[in-house]
Structure 1
Amino acid sequence: MVPPWWQTGDPCLHLAGFAPHLTLSASLPRLKMMRGFSHQESYYQPRTLEKHADSILALVSLPAPGAFTLCLSPPAGYLTMSKVVPFSHYAGTMLLLLAGVACLRGIGRWTNPQYVQFITVLEDSHRIGTPEIKKKLASYNFDFRSWPVDFRWDEASSRSESRGISLLRPEPKHRSAANGFLRSVKKLPCQIVSYVVAHTFGRRVLYPGSVYLLQKAVMPMLLQGQARLVEEYNGKRAKLIACDGNEIDTMFMDRRESSEPHGKKLVICCEGNAGFYEVGCLPTPLDAGYSVLGWNHPGFAGSTGVPLPQNEANAMDVVIQYAIHCLGFLPEDIVLYAWSIGGFTATWAAMSYPDISALVLDASFDDLVPLALKVMPDSCRGLVTTTVRQYLNLNNGEQLCKYQGPVLLIRRTKDEIITTTVPEDIMSNRGNDLLLKLLQHRYPEVMAEEGLRVIREWLEASNAVEEAAVYSAYEVDDDWCLSVLKSYRAERGGHFPWSVGEWGVGRWDPQAALPANQHLRNFEATHCAPLPPHEFRLPWHL
């Protein structure tokens, strides 16, 4: 809804209307780029008054606790006068000065014809919101907080009917009431420390893409990547409101009307912990010819909030709802594609929306705890485990086992991030554990002691030649295995787990390599190497 002071065209009244917001920065959105111009002219060039005022406001709005404190703290000589002039007078003076600087910046913007043209389009998008106006607005890149809302999490149904967004929680250990109370009191200091660690540097280490300075450094790349998606692929940017109030920045590329053979399938991309849809894993399915929907984690680029597990699930939920109810895709036409830590939101969505067509996890892991323990000293094992389980519990393996559909895992043979020892030790890759948990859930009889040994031997193979050697040594018969699986499904249905190991006793132990081979593919690369489009394919479906 447009504020009443926005209706007038008088720049002075516009500035007056913004007065309540002129604390650390002006509410007039910052214009970054204007698309449709030559490369040299694409970036918005502020005039002198706006440029210098903006520099001052940017300095005092740094996300460091000391920045604002430094601005309002009296100089050293002022301390001797504290009995004469109250500190509140000094703070009030500084706030007035900042408000004045913000007004000067606003005046600088309103005297720039390019900015006035942009703000007119933005006003029309809030007031009218037609597709033509939205298309004009897409030619500008500016502070996303001023972008009009395109979809809310509760638009498909009323709030009272909307289901809650829940996560899988660690099961509590049952104890007597007295013992439970005493243990809670003893654990209270540790729980306080865990909370502080998780909500300060813990989440920033886990999601470095949410750190302000890193975003500032990669902003030129993000602007260029976003411009490419809009200009070359007719990308449609949208703001979604999640149930926690966070604003989620998304970009949709529609290939349904193109000649691409896969265009009617939508691939929803879940980025890594320092990935953005502008420069992340999104180009892989896009260049492979699929319709693609990308989104940024809470706290990344245009998205607001912080990337904690609950917020991540809330964001993923509204993205799925947007794809179904606004973009018009059926769940069976949606594929989830995740890279690295994005496996958490992808497996959560697959668990929560079981009709999703397929799930592709690239360089992902089963559980965060072993990886967190790898980078922390042994003396902190208890604190690390408690912190992760309580506040940063990325339990991908557990969520994956709740999904009944087709799954493909891509294992990087030179992965240096999700291995617990060294990259050369492929058996320490946590992608192996993700596969084993999936197979043990779906085929518990097959994954008995001997079958598990066969799978581990197959996982030691890091290339096609070694895989073929394992197949040959155990005389794996693909045709026989497939015929048994199809017969089982036809007779007993397709809901996992299957007791298929009871069929053909004595033959399924070595044949366990077939399900493993169908659910996991090796890619000879390090963790951050982009996946080529020809390597992206949908999972095996019986």
Structure 2
Amino acid sequence: MAAWLWLRCILGPQLQRIHRSPDPQRPDGRAGRRGWNYQPRGLEKHTDGILGWASTLWSLSYYSSPLLLCYLYRKGYICSSKLVPVSQYVGTVLVCLLGVACLRGWERWRNSEYVQFISLLEQTKKNNTPENKKKLRCYDFDFSHWPVDFSWSEVSSQKLTKAGVSLLRSEPRLRGAADSVLHSIRTLPCHVISFLIAHSFGRRMLYPGSVGLLQKAMRPMLQQGQARLIEEFDGQRNKLKACDGNEIDTMFVDRRTNGGRKGQTLVICCEGNAGFYEVGCMNTPLEGGYSVLGWNHPGFGGSTGVPFPQNEANAMDVVIQFAVHKLGFQLSDIVIFAWSIGGFTATWAAMSYPEVQALVLDASFDDLLPLALKVMPDSWRPLVQHTVRQYVNLNNAEQLLKYQGPVLLIRRTKDEIITTTGPEDVMSNRGNDLLLRLLQFRYPKIMTDEGVRAVRHWLGATNPLGEATVYSAYEVDDDWCVSVLQSYQADKDVLFPWTVGEDMAMEGRRQLALFLARKYMRNFETTHCTPLPASEFHSPWRL
């Protein structure tokens, strides 16, 4: 028994924190006491440090391996006579690290807190009861050892593609089989280079939060944020298994019991390209009193995999399935909230689950390609276009047009990330293009050339005074606009696009265009990465 326990301590996960235990005397089930960081003893602390440095050096070697291999080749180290001593040296290092791991396991075996934790973890893996899982949630440890709480296979009945859930894809149009073969041969080098770019530095530039070294640097902040969610808000951490096998790290805060009307609404949050639910946009609806479900992109935090579009959509799908089938929310109770690049998964969810209550997109864009072209050399333009369209086609606008429900866009007027010329030029903000695409699809007879010009005039305003000046210059009558739209809706009751404004004078179309633009978009005078206050989080406008 002692040998078995020692082996478990050697192979067990690193324990970070012991959260409070629920106090049975409190009727609301909230925390009985605050948690505390796990304190490893002297030998365990030192061996943890050695293994941590070894992991960091391995990560550095992995990311620098192309340059390192070129250097070793030029120095003549890559040959049979030199490889044998190197392999012996590597073997010695591995044996030493194994000895360090055994010493760490022995010191853990002598620590009652770790022994209690590892015994509970093994018991939960054998008998995954709600009671065992509730006790296990009182510990923060390496999430790869956490048992799966929900799998897509438990409820999924939808038709999946070979890769997973369905995505919008742009297929090349060719005249015939011969053209297809010639085209494939001609574009083969471009395909190879695009694949290498997308799977090496391209993906890491697009999603820096998936880089292991960055996550190591942010670990104390993430652990503090997670402790806050669990200990102050009674958050529940869950592991979901997507249809591609990736495990998704999620956090759920339930406000249905004592949160009032807002607590009955679940806000699912989609983070940015360097955002984590522990410190990301999940805090905005949380402070607003909503029930909230946050999740980390594949490759972020405790989630496995890499954040390519297909994996992102697969992850979002299992998050929604979990919310409906395990947490007990209806789709009509769910609001999808996204910040920045999270707009891709949010618009995919709205397109694939059109019954969701509403969609809120903060500092998001219409299409990745213009932003990718901004940061790459002009000579790379054809290669960048091919790489984006083939491997990271974040086509938010196309997906958004498939959704019929209420939408709110939040534009940062000092945004420096999703502008193509700079934060001082608000007209280059790609959120403008997202709004125009949405309005032109839903109200094509209103968004004629005159309507588009009026909306662009309004978008050029960078503060409330400028917005009000433009609005009054066009003499917009809000009551008249509402009555026109309600009358059309009552008579037609049809899905978008609407033909309202078809027989209207130019002044009327301008008024309606500006009215709709102000209802679908709100400005927030700040930069891209400033957290959105709860006061700026609103339910989208409904007619």
Give 3-state SS (helix, strand or coil) of 1:501's partner.
Answer: coil
Query: Counterparts of 1:133-532 in structure 2 under 5 Å?
Result: 133-157=132-156, 165-506=165-506, 507-532=508-533
Question: 1:35 matched to which residue of 2?
Answer: 19
Contact 2:451/2:509 (CA < 8 Å) preserved in 1? yes
Three-state SS of the structure 2 residue aligned to 1:540 is coil
Q: CA deviation at 1:92?
A: 5.0
Q: Which amino acid aligns with 2:116?
A: Q
Question: Residue type matched to 2:129 in 1?
Answer: T
CA distance in 2, matches of 1:264, 1:85: 65
Contact 1:60 1:68 in 2 (8 A): no
5+ residue gaps, structure 2:
22-31
What amino acid is aligned across from residue 213 of structure 1 in structure 2?
L
| Residues 288 and 484 (structure 1), Cα distance of their counterparts in 2 relative to 1, 3 Å cut | same
* Residue 63 of structure 1, aligned match among 59, 64, 82: 59
- Output the CA distance in 1 between the equivalents of 2:84 and 2:463: 75
Kindly provide the amino acid, as one letter, of the partner of residue 13 in structure 1: W
Deviation by residue 1:221-242 (Cα, 9 ceiling, x = unmatched): 1111111111111101100000
Q: Could you tell me which residue of structure 2 aligns to residue 48 of structure 1? A: 42
- More moved, 422-431 vs 103-112: 103-112
- Taking the aligned partners of 1:444 and 1:120, their CA distance within structure 2 comes to 64
Residues 162 and 380 of structure 1: is their aligned pair in 2 closer, same or farther, counting only changes over 3 Å? closer
Instruction: Assess, with a 3 A threshold, how the Cα gap between structure 1 residues 212 and 66 changes in structure 2: closer, same or farther.
Output: closer
How much has 1:330 moved relative to structure 2? 0.2
Q: What displacement does 1:49 show?
A: 2.9
Q: How far apart are 1:390 and its partner, in Å?
A: 0.6
Higher mean Cα deviation, 81-90 or 367-376?
A: 81-90
Shift of the alpha carbon at 1:314? 0.5
- Alpha-carbon offset, residue 16 of structure 1: 5.2
After alignment, is 485-494 or 145-154 more displaced?
485-494
Q: CA offsets, 1:87-107, max 9 Å, x none?
A: 766655554443333222222
Change (3 A) 1:320 1:504: same
Q: Which moved more, 1:34-43 or 1:507-516?
A: 34-43
Change (3 A) 1:323 1:130: same
* 8 Å Cα contact 2:268/2:292 also seen in 1: yes
- Distance in 1 (alpha carbons) for counterparts of 2:244 and 2:261: 38
CA distance in 2, matches of 1:422, 1:63: 34
Segment of structure 1 superposing worse, 531-540 or 487-496? 487-496
State the one-letter code of the partner of 1:528: C
The correspondence for 2:4, drawn from 13, 20, 25, is: 13
1:81/1:340 CA distance change after superposition, 3 Å = closer
How many angstroms does 1:380 deviate by?
0.9
SS in 2 for 1:29: coil
CA RMSD in angstroms comes to 2.8
Aligned pair in 2 of structure 1 residues 85, 270: CA closer, same or farther (>3 Å)?
closer
Q: CA deviation at 1:332?
A: 0.3
Letter matched to residue 106 of structure 1: G
Cα offset, 1:160, TM superposition = 7.7
| Distance of 1:202 and 1:420 partners within structure 2 | 19
Deviations 1:481-532 (A, max 9, x none): 2112112122222411111121434422342111111100000110011111
Question: Whole-Å Cα distance in 1 between the matches of residues 388 and 175 of structure 2?
Answer: 22
Which runs of 5 or more residues in structure 1 are unaligned? 1-9, 19-25
Change (3 A) 1:488 1:50: same
- State the one-letter code of the partner of 1:511: L
Give the alignment's TM-score, normalised by structure 1. Answer: 0.90
Aligned partner letter, 1:57: L
Following the alignment from structure 1 to structure 2, what is the Cα–Cα distance between the partners of residues 83 and 114? Answer: 47
C-alpha separation in 2, matches of 1:479 and 1:262? 28
1:321 Cα shift?
Answer: 0.3
Equivalent residues of 1:316, 1:349 under 8 A apart: yes
Q: CA deviation at 1:463?
A: 1.8
SS at match of 2:394: coil
CA shift at 1:174, angstroms?
Answer: 2.3
365-374 or 131-140: which moved more?
A: 131-140
Alpha-carbon distance in 2 for matches of 1:199, 1:466: 44
Aligned to 1:534: 535
Contact 2:259 2:290 (8 Å CA) reproduced: no
Question: 1:63 is paired with a residue of what secondary structure?
Answer: helix
2: CA distance between counterparts of 1:351 and 1:314?
A: 14
| Corresponding residue SS for 1:109 | helix
Question: In structure 1, what is the equivalent of residue 29 of structure 2?
Answer: none
Residues 521 and 160 of structure 1, relative CA distance in 2, 3 Å threshold? closer
1:428-469 CA-to-partner distances (Å, cap 9, x unmatched) read: 000000000100110111111111111111111122222222
Aligned length: 521
Of all paired residues, the percent bearing the same amino acid is: 63
Specify whether residues 159 and 407 from structure 1 end up closer, same or farther in structure 2 by C-alpha distance, changes over 3 A only: closer
2:177 aligned partner, one-letter code: A
**Match of residue 98 from structure 2:** 99
- Contact conserved, 1:238 with 1:251, CA < 8 A, in 2? yes
Measure the CA separation in 1 of the matches of 2:86 and 2:536: 64
Instruction: Give secondary structure in 2 for the equivalent of 1:409.
Output: strand
Q: TM-score, normalised by structure 2?
A: 0.90
CA distance 1:64–1:535, change in 2 (3 Å) = same
- Structure 2 Cα separation of the partners of residues 144 and 270 of structure 1: 20
**Residue aligning to 1:4:** none
DSSP 3-state at the match of 2:154: coil
1:174 is paired with a residue of what secondary structure? coil
| Deviation larger for 250-259 or 177-186 | 177-186
Match of 1:3 in 2: none
